[in-house]
Amino acid sequence: MLAALDALKLASLELHWGEARAGTMRENNAIVVTAKGKPFQSGIVLDCWRHSGRVHWNSVAADHFFPWKENAAYARFVRARSARAIKRQLAFQTRNEAKKKRASSAGFSAKAH
């Protein structure tokens, strides 16, 4: 999710890697969005795991279920890995429309006889 949100090139917001209970069986990771230059604890958590794929959001300070901490080193790692993937030309989905099939040039007509 961090790579996809980074692609938006947000000018007034910063994206942080948040983790809670790191290194345990109950570890959880999320994206934390803050205003540019504001501290991590003032941000909003975007948690995709808490509700089985539906995004849960809450302020970092008010989220008493998880003790969120920033991990800037892991955010750099994710961003670097995303940049390498783009260089290898791995593509993100950019549209939802199905491609239209073209009639073959092998003598088949698009119309039924």
CB atoms within 10 A of CB 33: 19
**Mean pLDDT across 54-76:** 91
- For the entire predicted model, the pTM comes to 0.69
pLDDT at 112: 52
pLDDT tens-digit map of 33-59: 999 999 999 999 999 888 777 888 999
